[in-house]
Chain A
């Protein structure tokens, strides 16, 4: 039996735990305010909020219900548009959207409202930028977004006096959200949750579901799966002797809020902004990104440039494997079926390490890369002492550019060396033409992004220079 709270109502269900929350709310609970736009997490029409007790605090995040198995709702509070309606009238979020003409055909609107409610409930700073960021996973085809921006600014204004320790009190007392929200914390504490049975051999492992539910949607509802998303043992980010360890089920959002990660990568928020959208970042796990083995996995490329290792486990035995050794060919992994990724380890960049991540896609945000690349390097007497350089979208696997790295070791940072390194890089990539670009484009683009790495990291030497 799976137990959770849906809006104000306790749910106790024995429906297949792989069913999507979208199908559950629309077709089993007849809550039709949550819409179906794409079933692949790319439009946000099905956005819901997921509230969870973490260290005795209730945290809400937006997620796309089309990619979320109901298993991942166990013990949580699921909020649909119906759950933020007052019996009569509009809450201020809805009022702002209506007043600004930010709803035309209305089909995407509940998703936007729910995302903005997520902004109000969230702990991030109340700024205009963050209000917009809250709807970065919502697509609207009618308005051109300017009216939605105006509404979002109003909502940011409305909540600027909230105190994060009493967010829910603030929102309920100001009639931004219904009063029942203040009862949820207690109710969740009382919710009994049976632990899901352990997987039998060869069951599918599901993390955030953001790839599996896109690729194998039909199979996922009924397939026997082991849900890792809420496995507390896999959700830690720790540091010891400068080695950072990230648990398999850590989400991108959790990386974003981690002081360890932000210390190691001061530009992490900018990098993460280029990766999918708020609701997807709230769901997508780091191990999922690695094991999906996409040649353009953003965090795979990120971690390759850190020369990361993964810890593989079959539940009994563990082994360490350099990430670059995991990929044998297109979607072909050096991993036994019974093995799963338990954690990722890498040396956290210190003040002497230069790190940069670049990504170009057809649409800058909420898109899959045409090419992505990351670099980390250390200098000694202005000479590159160590360097790791990775690239995605230029071969069948996420690539560790070994030849280019070898070339750059021991070189100083000059336009000439960078140009020559790019020539070397071209000898070790094999991009193909597909929907994300022609191979000629990807070839040129990776060269440009390597230039961008150095211009970004060494602006005094290279700023405003066109390296040919």
Chain B
């Protein structure tokens, strides 16, 4: 296998020829949609005035909840989400009406003429307040290990505190959108920029009262997803389908950036509390945490995100006594949703904060506590699974390569010499479980056709959104058949070809769909080998295919791939296969909160350094040096790209990306001018990615571990590196664990005069 294969879309990408939703050539007579969304966060609808808008130039029809033939319901996990607000609005940005017009401008102009009168209801934006008012989307969940109640008495040191992590806007550069085209016999085709075609299909069928087999969802690629198009692509697709189905005209909606930002949910903000207990030699004995997740107005994927917070609440550490409780809090914000890491990062931040808090009080480096408590193979996670750990191996290799202590010493020296510039560092180990934690979602299918000219078509349920999954699928097919990759084409993801797909999420798409592709290719390969065995009068086991040629007993024959394919067809043998894959051995029992939910874990260690201009509060991330557990990487270019991109996205979340909702639930950071993601100047000056390069077998596709989400969590280290630098300028800085660490928070902390409340060293035995 060519392990340095470029993304197969790179040719059309760099020529501007790749087709995204808004680039699809439109059919004559297509109409344009625009959503009227609620300007208030909570209230009863008193009056919805559409008359003026309906009479506006170019308007064809305005749809409201009353026009929905099926269920006005698109909730994925819990049916609590209306497509169009019927009697109440629950967040600013909640869709209320859909304007269809002959042009985008006319649709948008008409939206401005709609008047909504609302009797206001109380607005909650804070998750703790929601919990106090019992506004929970589902009952709290608790993961436990050991005996927390009795563990505290064995601790030499106990610390407690609280943390805040803000949300994060996905900021896929391609906004949400869909294009629906009515087809004969009441069917509909929807082009949707979605990570979950089946979610779109199911919701459309439900809303239009159609059987699923009449809803074709087709996706070529996304201009970025990051989780934001897992569940939240659905509404726009269903709305287009609603209008297209009713009007029997194609309908398109490609959202304006500001519409997208205000109407869609983001990474969940969390408010959390922790209590950590250590032994005299810094072993973590007990850890208790409570997580208040700001879910927004409806469930969306929040319950699943919440669960992953619990799964990752101890990050890369073994802690014998744990109790972690999580609350899914309903607020009047847009429904928060999946975002790379899926609740894991929010859980990890809290344990890292607890460790830093303890280390600072004990006057040691946090890395001392981190290193002492890394997971070892056989250690039990709070959810019952036993670790097959690479945590120590990653840490040790990082230490050998990057010399953690030397970095610390150099920083100390630098800080002694400089008054107005300070450096800081942090080590960030990670451990991330791979699988959908809802076990049933761990299934995938692939459809492989070998055509009589030897070319190969592959369809899977995976969505290409830049992560290179199609390239990996192509590599799998080319490797199994041992043919030139140019013979393989990966087709769009389409619900008519592949049914009942799981969304492309949880870092699992390459594993699940790759394995299904492998199975399909192997089935066809077996038939080809049987034919070859018959031709060469030998056993099938003696036949191999190698770089387009047929070998018998390792000797090259004069039959090539094309000839064998054609011969197989001539013998009326099936050259197509639809294969199904599901990993074995995973299970999770939510009544006990125990099981073996993950096929495997991904580990890694990052060392992050930062420099603060203490005069101005401005800072730079100097370097991120990582040892990452790739397993046996099947594509070094793509995997490196996933690491670098994930790290920078994580740093963005922890530093400059600041979501601002006001107390009325209105998004203030509602455009790229007010919500800042990293630009080329703000990324670390150096990112080093060293593979751990284990040759161990694992359950990943070709033993190449999933790489989509885990690297994001290295970015958490940037927060603590800045924290570390601030403390060396002002050891008494008032510095709550409150991410992101914006330049504002840095400057305010550098010059804070209020000392931190007395060390919460509860007891020192």
Q: Point out residues on A near B: beta carbons under 8 Å.
A: 26, 30, 32-40, 42-43, 45, 80-82, 85, 90, 93-95, 97-99, 101, 103-110, 113, 132, 135-136, 138-149, 214, 218, 221, 358, 360-368, 370, 434-438, 440-441, 444-445, 448-449, 451-452, 455, 464-466
Contacts and interface: CB of A to CB of B under 8 A. Distances in A.
Interface in B669-695: 669, 671-674, 676-683, 687
B747 A448 contact: yes
Contacts of B751: 444, 448
Contact of B7 (A82, A101, A110): A101
Interface in B535-557: none
Question: Which are the 8 A-B pairs with shortest beta-carbon distances?
Answer: A33-B16, A105-B466, A107-B223, A106-B13, A144-B648, A81-B16, A104-B466, A42-B672
Interface string B218-261: 00011111100000000000000000000000000010110000
Residue from B222, B226, B748 with most neighbouring chain A CB atoms (10 Å): B748
A362 B173 contact: no
Contact of A36 (B14, B22, B170, B618): B22
A106 B471 CA distance: 14
A78 to B, nearest CB: 14
B677 A139 contact: yes
B641 interface: yes
B418 to A, nearest CB: 7
Chain A interface SS verdict (over half): loop
A444 B751 CA distance: 9
Contacts, number: 243
A364 B656 CA distance: 10
A319 B9 CA distance: 59
B6 interface: yes
A91 to B, nearest CB: 9
A105 B174 contact: yes
B658 interface: yes
A141 B649 CA distance: 7
29 contacts: A38-B671, A39-B256, A40-B673, A42-B673, A81-B16, A85-B17, A94-B15, A103-B14, A104-B467, A105-B174, A105-B225, A105-B465, A106-B18, A106-B221, A113-B16, A136-B681, A141-B170, A142-B645, A143-B645, A144-B646, A146-B687, A148-B680, A360-B618, A362-B658, A363-B678, A448-B617, A449-B616, A464-B418, A466-B614
Contacts of A94: 14-15
Contacts of A95: 14
A105 B222 contact: yes
Nearest to B108: A218
From DSSP, what is the main secondary structure of chain B's interface residues?
loop
B734 to A, nearest CB: 13
A360 B645 contact: no
Interface in B158-178: 170-175
B647 interface: yes
A43 B7 contact: no
Interface of B: 6-7, 9-20, 22-23, 25, 105, 108-109, 170-175, 221-226, 254, 256-257, 418-420, 465-468, 614-618, 637-638, 640-641, 644-649, 656, 658, 660, 668-669, 671-674, 676-683, 687, 742-744, 747-748, 751
B164 to A, nearest CB: 16
A139 B671 contact: no
Contact of B638 (A90, A101, A105): A101
Given A32-B22, A107-B173, 9 more contacts: A35-B173, A39-B257, A101-B637, A101-B640, A105-B465, A141-B677, A148-B680, A362-B744, A448-B615
Contacts of B14: 90, 93-95, 97-98, 103, 106, 109-110, 113
A354 to B, nearest CB: 18
Nearest to B260: A38
Contacts of A147: 640-641, 644
A98 B645 contact: no
Contact of A105 (B221, B644, B646, B673): B221
